[in-house]
Amino acid sequence: MADQIVEKKFEVLNEYGIHARPAALLVKAAGKYDCDIFIEKDGNKVSCKSIMGLMTIEGYPGSIMKVTASGIDAQEAMDEIEELFVNKFGED
């Protein structure tokens, strides 16, 4: 199977945005996959596998984040990341 590139935009829906806990969940999810995964906001692009990078992305509530996954398991990775955003990272 050829490498694939999957790109989606997500709104940060949880009350406090991308703070340490959601960032850790993103890193944990991304670490399961071999593909490259990046999150971009306002021209700032960081690896989804770097908690330090995610902490600098300024993912405030209501922010729109562009996620790009490229590699053989990109779709599976994107599905798991989408679930985190949609479910507000398990926060109310």
Among this protein's residues, is 77 annotated catalytic?
Answer: no
* Catalytic site residue from 4, 8, 17, 19: 19
DSSP state letters, the chain = ---EEEEEEEE--STT-S-HHHHHHHHHHHTT-SSEEEEEETTEEEETT-HHHHHTS---TT-EEEEEEEETTHHHHHHHHHHHHHTGGG--
Catalytically active residues are 19
